[in-house]
Chains A and B, each alone.
Chain A
Amino acid sequence: MKPFTYERASDAKAAVQAAVETPGARFIAGGTNLLDLMKLEIEQPQHLIDVGRLPMATIEDTADGGLRIGAMASNTKVAADARVRSRYRVLSQAIVSGASGQLRNKASTGGNLLQRTRCPYFYDTSKPCNKRQPGAGCAALEGHIRESAILGASRACIAVHPSDMAVALVALDASVETLTPSGETRSFPLMELHRLPGETPHLETHLIPGELITAVVLPPLPEGGQQYRKARDRASYATAHASVAVVGGRIALGGLAHKPWRAADAEAALASGATAEEAMGVELKDATLRDENAFKVPLATRLVAATLREAAQ
Chain B
Amino acid sequence: MRTTITVNGEARSLDLDPRTTLLDFLREKVALTGTKKGCDHGQCGACTVLVNGVRINACLSLAVMHDGDEVTTIEGLGAPEALHPMQQAFLTHDAFQCGYCTPGQICSAVGVLAEIKADIPSHAGDVGAQARLTADEVRERMSGNICRCSAYPQIVDAILDAAGNLP
User: Which A residues form the contact surface with B (CB < 8 A)?
Assistant: 1, 3-6, 8, 28, 31-32, 35-36, 39, 48, 50, 52, 76, 79-80, 85-86, 89, 92-93, 96-97, 99-103, 105-106, 234-237
Tell me, in angstroms, the Cα distance from A1 to B64 when the chains sit together: 15
User: Which B residues form the contact surface with A (CB < 8 A)?
Assistant: 1, 17-19, 21, 40-42, 45, 48, 54-57, 60-62, 64-65, 67, 108, 111-112, 115, 118-123, 127-128, 139-145
Using A1-B19, A105-B54 as known contacts, say yes or no to A237 and B143 having CB atoms under 8 A apart: yes
Using A89-B127, A105-B55 as known contacts, say yes or no to A80 and B61 having CB atoms under 8 A apart: no
Contact B56 A92 (CB under 8 A): no
Contact B144 A103 (CB under 8 A): yes
Question: Please, could you name 10 A-B residue pairs with CB atoms under 8 Å apart, sorted by A?
Answer: A5-B18, A52-B65, A79-B120, A80-B119, A96-B122, A96-B127, A101-B143, A102-B55, A102-B56, A106-B56
Residue on B with the closest CB to A40?
B41
Tell me, in angstroms, the Cα distance from A288 to B17 when the chains sit together: 47
Contact A236 B143 (CB under 8 A): yes
Return the contact of B127 from the options A28, A36, A79, A235 (Cβ within 8 A).
A79
Interfacial chain B residues near A234, Cβ < 8 Å = 143
Return the contact of A50 from the options B65, B121, B142 (Cβ within 8 A).
B65
Interfacial chain A residues near B17, Cβ < 8 Å = 3
Return the contact of B57 from the options A4, A5, A32 (Cβ within 8 A).
A32
- For the residues of B in contact with A, the DSSP-based class is loop
Residue on A with the closest CB to B67?
A8
Top 4 A-B residue pairs of the complex, sorted by shortest distance between their CB atoms = A100-B144, A236-B143, A6-B18, A92-B127
Tell me, in angstroms, the Cα distance from A236 to B146 when the chains sit together: 12
Return the contact of B121 from the options A8, A92, A106, A237 (Cβ within 8 A).
A92
Tell me, in angstroms, the Cα distance from A102 to B55 when the chains sit together: 5
Tell me, in angstroms, the Cα distance from A35 to B18 when the chains sit together: 12
- Supply 9 further A-B pairs (C-beta < 8 A) apart from A80-B121, A96-B123: A3-B17, A35-B21, A50-B64, A79-B121, A101-B55, A102-B42, A103-B42, A106-B61, A236-B143
Interfacial chain A residues near B57, Cβ < 8 Å = 32, 102-103, 106
Using A31-B62, A102-B55 as known contacts, say yes or no to A96 and B144 having CB atoms under 8 A apart: no
Interfacial chain B residues near A36, Cβ < 8 Å = 41-42, 60
Interfacial chain A residues near B122, Cβ < 8 Å = 96, 101
Tell me, in angstroms, the Cα distance from A99 to B42 when the chains sit together: 10
Interfacial chain B residues near A5, Cβ < 8 Å = 18
Residue on A with the closest CB to B111?
A101
Tell me, in angstroms, the Cα distance from A39 to B42 when the chains sit together: 11
Contact B48 A102 (CB under 8 A): yes
Tell me, in angstroms, the Cα distance from A35 to B65 when the chains sit together: 12
Contact A106 B60 (CB under 8 A): yes
Write the nearest CB–CB distance from A226 to chain B, whole angstroms: 10
Contact B61 A31 (CB under 8 A): yes
Most chain-A CB neighbours within 10 Å: which of B41, B127, B141? B127
Residue on B with the closest CB to A29?
B65
Contact A236 B65 (CB under 8 A): no
Contact A39 B40 (CB under 8 A): yes
Return the contact of B141 from the options A4, A52, A101 (Cβ within 8 A).
A101
Contact A237 B144 (CB under 8 A): yes
Tell me, in angstroms, the Cα distance from A36 to B57 when the chains sit together: 11
